[in-house]
Amino acid sequence: MDSNLLQVRFGAQGLGRTPHRELGAETATAEQLRAWVRDWFVAGNAVAWSTGSRVPAGLDLRLPVGSRTDFVHPGSVLATRPAWYSGAQGQILVDAVVPRSAEAAVFTEALSRAVFRQLRVERGLSYTAGAHIEQLDAESARILVVADASAERSEELLIALTGVLESARDGQLDETDVAGARAHLASTRDQVPAAELLGSTVYRYLLGGSNRLPGAEDFTAVTDAEIAAVGRAFWDDAIWQTPGYPASADGVTAIPLGDHAPVEGESYVHETTVEHILVGAEGVSVVSPGNILTVRFAECALVVAYDDGGRVLVGTNATWITIEPTMLRFFGPADLASLDAAIPADALVRLPARPENDIPQPPPTATAARGLGAWSLVVATPMLVLAIIFVITAVTGASRGSRGGAYVPASGWVLLVVLLVSSALLIGGWIRRIRWRRSQR
């Protein structure tokens, strides 16, 4: 549900990779798998847990010696927040990354109660309305607010949710919601058996946190001022995915998605659109009226290389650029080889050729308009020479022969016509190519 939001916040890295296919796993070689095991599946980087009194007989937990690899949580690719981008009708998502703490947990629970009460119970705007929190690493957590509505009531829902989040930012959550959140979290903590906390404790430890079971958090001691501080942090870091711009939300700016500075390089015109693609030493850009998208090789998270020549470049900011050689004018094998040579090897994933029907092709009119390449002139030249020799031979023979002239069989004249027509068509195609090239400048 929030996969787009994850990509907007984190790009094509970390949690932003969640919605994508695991292409590397699908094409990994045996040597790559062995290298992964040597680096990651080692004693210093693995944790085992059990609720029994001893390790089951025959279970060997020994692993190769190796050091711990710290989990590094990538920050947001957006320099400015709070920010907004357009999403589907009938759904609003707002998320933010805040310091992981007991007060963040209380704030999220109180906010969820406020959103549910005001949007569903009191106003009947939303069926699914609430908030939840998830740990990102030892120091940070992500809070996600969700609300849905019919397309007709999307604007009303946005105004109402904005009001709730502004109240949370200003430390004005309802006292009943805050008190209920404190009591609920404290009760839940006390009722969960320690054995059920082992899995989450191991997860937290692998992310860089403590290896002790939780239980020290005193949710009842979290103050209103601490909750208000989390509310301000949430607002300042928020990314809004809404059907329309939240005009009533102070300080929220539209996100300029993608890299809009083009690279310098060779330009290739698309067959069926007004786009053209720039391929240079630094990266690739797609230029269209009013928009430019760029993926730089130094910031390339993934390049899918199909054996049929198609390429898909994905930047760390989640910008996608597709290159289809069949749809680009004058983009040949040498151009593809030059592009591949510039792609970082660790970002490249090779896949088999796609079914023929999945490879886009230019319309027949576009192919005809291009004319024919220089090969047509190479083929037409000897055909025209043969036709000229034939005519000279026939005329010379007629002048030297009997009064009836030289005999030329009917098949010879047919061959002459074929040679002349074929060479004319080929030369005409070559001329069309020259004119077409000039028209593209």
In a domain, 58, yes or no: no
pLDDT band at 295, cuts 50/70/90? very high
Sign of CA dihedral 338, 343, 345, 351: negative
**287 and 307 fall within a common domain:** yes
**238 and 292 fall within a common domain:** no
For residue range 362-417, what is the model confidence (pLDDT) as tens digits? 877 555 556 666 777 777 788 888 878 877 777 776 655 555 555 567 677 777 77
Please, is 1 exposed, middle or buried when counting C-beta atoms within 10 Å of its C-beta (0-12, 13-18, 19+)? exposed
Structural domain of 395: 370-439
In a domain, 7, yes or no: no
**315 and 403 fall within a common domain:** no
**250 and 336 fall within a common domain:** no
**307 and 333 fall within a common domain:** yes
Which among 254, 279, 307 is the end of a domain?
A: 254
Residue with tokens 């609430």: 130
Residue at 358: amino acid letter: D
User: Can you give the pLDDT at residue 244?
Assistant: 83
In a domain, 53, yes or no: no
Can you name the residues that pair with 93 across neighbouring β-strands?
A: 146, 241
**393 and 361 fall within a common domain:** no
Contact 72, 220 (CB under 8 A): no
Largest Cα span, the chain: 126
**323 and 386 fall within a common domain:** no
**342 and 401 fall within a common domain:** no
| Highest mean pLDDT, choosing among 7-11, 145-149, 255-259 | 145-149
In a domain, 232, yes or no: yes
Q: What is the CATH number of the domain that holds 299?
A: 2.30.29
Tell me what the mean pLDDT of segment 185-190 comes to. 80
**349 and 322 fall within a common domain:** yes
pLDDT band at 180, cuts 50/70/90? very high
In a domain, 157, yes or no: yes
Tell me what the mean pLDDT of segment 261-280 comes to. 89
Q: What is the CATH number of the domain that holds 99?
A: 3.30.830.10
Number of domains in the chain: 3
In a domain, 49, yes or no: no
For residue range 94-146, what is the model confidence (pLDDT) as tens digits? 999 999 889 999 999 999 999 999 999 999 999 999 999 998 887 889 999 99
Q: Does 441 have pLDDT greater than 50?
A: no
In a domain, 20, yes or no: no
**153 and 274 fall within a common domain:** no
**392 and 244 fall within a common domain:** no
- Rounded Cα distance between 229 and 166, Å, is 13
Which among 202, 228, 254 is the end of a domain?
A: 254
**305 and 337 fall within a common domain:** yes
In a domain, 334, yes or no: yes
Tell me what the mean pLDDT of segment 227-244 comes to. 94
